[in-house]
Amino acid sequence: MKIQLPDGSSRTLAEGATAYDLAADIGPGLARATIAARVNGRLVDVYHVLHGGDEVELITEKSDEGLEIIRHSASHLMAMAVQELFPKSQVTIGPVIEDGFYYDFSFERAFTPEDLEKIEAKMREIARRKLDVKREEWDRDEAIRYFEGLGETYKARLIARIPAGETVSLYRQGDWADLCRGPHVPNTSRIRHFKLMKVAGAYWEGNADNEQLQRIYGTAWASKEDLKAYLHRLEEAEKRDHRKLARALDLFHLQDEAPGMVFWHPKGWSIWQSVEQEIRGVMREHGYQEIRTPQVVDRRLWERSGHWDKFRKEMFTTATENRDYAIKPMNCPCHIQVFNQHLHSYRDLPLRLAEFGSCHRNEPSGTLHGLMRLRNFVQDDAHIFCTEDQIQEEVCNFIDLTYEVYRRFGFEDVIIFLSDRPDNRVGTDEQWDKAEAALHQALKSKDIEYGLNPGEGAFYGPKIEFSLKDCLGRVWQCGTIQVDFSMPGKLDAEYVAEDGSRKTPVMLHRAVLGSLERFIGILIEQHEGKFPFWLAPVQAVVCNITDDQADYVREITDRMLAEGFRVESDLRNEKVGYKVRAHTLARVPFILVAGDRERDEGTVSVRNLSGENIGTFSVDDWIAEMHDRRARYA
């Protein structure tokens, strides 16, 4: 039989040959590297039997799909190890996640760090057994009885949801088997480079009303070098954790009395204000008008907008005088209320309304994470009311604005995806065609490479998402622009068209940073608290050597404060070396030292963040240097 390969060539194999046989026919090196195959577009195991005319692509561990298969197989390896060590444990589900995998277990006691060490050692032992991993097809009812006989009630419950009469696939390695769609590596020996990371609590099916389980996280990679590099990135991320740096640098704190809500300290609030004022200035330059809308709004508005039905569980609510209210989880319905206060002409469009809108969402407590996931956050939110013909130009303008802002904050690597129409959507096909074409054309006109997320658009319109890659290679989704055909009509937004008719505007939802809190968290980790001069909460500290220079230090500090810089003086009765070290640890960009000579000559000795003496400057020259650095976003 003939098998077709991706390069257009073909191979002739004996009837009954497998994907592994194909790899071996091409070469022994490829046979050793192959862990799965794609046959006629479907991922399968290497033991999959081929048929004449099949189109086959061999999957190696170096590919993204191969790595995902390794991680999926590692989760099975871990589950087998757990049950060999702790026979009373039950397995539930174990998917692949970004950079690794996890498996949820039901067990009578909590797993300890010592247990993780034992489990990892057992995994390596099982891998050395070189057990073949084979797929088995079972009748659904037979599979239920099999797992019930093993005491695996969770697996039995999962299979019971499959319609009667259907078959299910199990994967067996040695005497251990698990329900799984696959594919998996051909042999446990192919899982070599892994590490278990931590244990966390979880609920069956993610529902807090269900039984509590234990989730063991792990990571797996195709090579020892990749695993080592990943663990190094984790170490760096740990050092850069914005929550730790916030404590060390006195930026903000969170506490149980206000879960998911931030207490900003003076230095942290200084960073906040710098970010907000920067965005405010950019918005003004690009034709946005800033507004402010209420925090608490009657339930009826949220019902009309559709949020009450779709978002009710995530909304904080209150009631008074027989009226129900919600603390706003987003700003868009309120912005339409501002638009509706006047009957606009087509000549008024596009109308761009911006707000630093404080939003509240009742996120589950287990998902809260520093500044990255909060219940109260502020969006650099704006809505553009425009005609369908204006969508492309507005998107182009927003792309320019977004790149401009990211560059100012030191991010050059931007990843963009366009998400198009989902199956469940509002609006006409003609509207979607025009909106999607406008987004595609806007990106192409800017010569921007972008990926596609088919069917991942919002129900009300397509969107573009902007993600930033930080210094550790982590990707953070920040900016977005979304086309909305639905909400303006629901809330009676209209404008007078050129022909005198009343029409509903298109609304573009857009944000550059997303949440200011989250973006500041990203900045803290990106810079490891060593903010660029223009953004640093304290831009310089002026230190004396003895009390004889105290008045001179105060004079310099006052001059710099008058120039609009964030400067402090340190007149403590401490050695200057101690002061320099203290302010270096506090990540102050520049430390200015004045002794008798500097006082007499009207100069300052300047040290940078590394404690290196970069020279002696006249006070005027150094102030000019500070102005230049601020202007250059240095």
Q: Are 360 and 316 in contact (CB under 8 A)?
A: yes
Helices 619-631 + 550-562 axis angle, to 10: 30
CA-to-CA dists, residue 575 to 33, 540, 543, 570, 597, angstroms:
63, 18, 10, 11, 17
Q: Is 583 a catalytic residue?
A: no
The rounded distance, in Å, linking the Cα atoms of 377 and 360 is 7
Q: Is 313 a catalytic residue?
A: no
Amino acid at residue number 608: N
The rounded distance, in Å, linking the Cα atoms of 413 and 475 is 10
Burial class (CB in 10 A: 0-12, 13-18, 19+), 312: middle
Q: Are 41 and 56 in contact (CB under 8 A)?
A: no
Q: Dmax over Cα atoms in the chain, in whole Å?
A: 96
Q: Which of 214, 379, 482, 539 is catalytic?
A: 379
Q: Which of 192, 361, 375, 579 is catalytic?
A: 361
Q: Which of 352, 463, 579, 599 is catalytic?
A: 463
Q: Is 509 a catalytic residue?
A: yes
Q: Is 21 a catalytic residue?
A: no
Q: Is 332 a catalytic residue?
A: yes
In terms of Cα–Cα distance, which of 386, 382, 380, 393 is closest to 351?
386
Q: Which of 193, 240, 335, 383 is catalytic?
A: 383
The rounded distance, in Å, linking the Cα atoms of 482 and 357 is 17
Q: Are 196 and 120 in contact (CB under 8 A)?
A: yes
Burial class (CB in 10 A: 0-12, 13-18, 19+), 138: middle
Q: Which of 180, 332, 386, 478 is catalytic?
A: 332
Amino acid at residue number 242: H
Q: Which of 190, 243, 352, 509 is catalytic?
A: 509
Q: Which of 381, 420, 484, 570 is catalytic?
A: 381
Q: Is 383 a catalytic residue?
A: yes
Q: Are strands 96-97 and 193-203 parallel, antiparallel or unpaired?
A: unpaired
The residues annotated as belonging to the active site are 332, 361, 379, 381, 383, 463, 509
